[in-house]
Amino acid sequence: MKLSTWAKKQGISYKTAWRLWKTGKLPLPAEQLATGTIIVKEPEASYEAGPSSVVLYARVSSSDQKQDLDRQLLRLVEYATSQGFQVKRVIKEVGSGLNGKRTRLLSILRDSNIRT
């Protein structure tokens, strides 16, 4: 499929997808045709084929916003279940977005059993 189509399916902008491809960080193999079009090769068995489960992550930047964190999670759970997803895990985190120390988010991204 075209990179632009793949980006829409992933919920990211084309420019972000292009940057991922250009830096070699695109999670799927891709090739550029002679015309310049970038084709993303999806795996044979798509993860959308069967019942899907999700890990939900919510973060606020200060402990004053803990009530907002609970509201975020409630909305995420409602949305996921309305879309037919099974909520596998819910992760909350309180921490500043400035320093990048999001230990729980990084643990999700490092988990080989979880796909993004």
Candidates 61, 62, 96, 107; catalytic one: 61
Q: Please give the full DSSP string across 42-58, using - where no structure is assigned.
A: --SS-TTSS--EEEEEE
Determine the number of helices (DSSP H) and then strands (DSSP E) in the chain: 4, 4
Is 61 annotated as catalytic?
Answer: yes
Catalytic positions are: 61
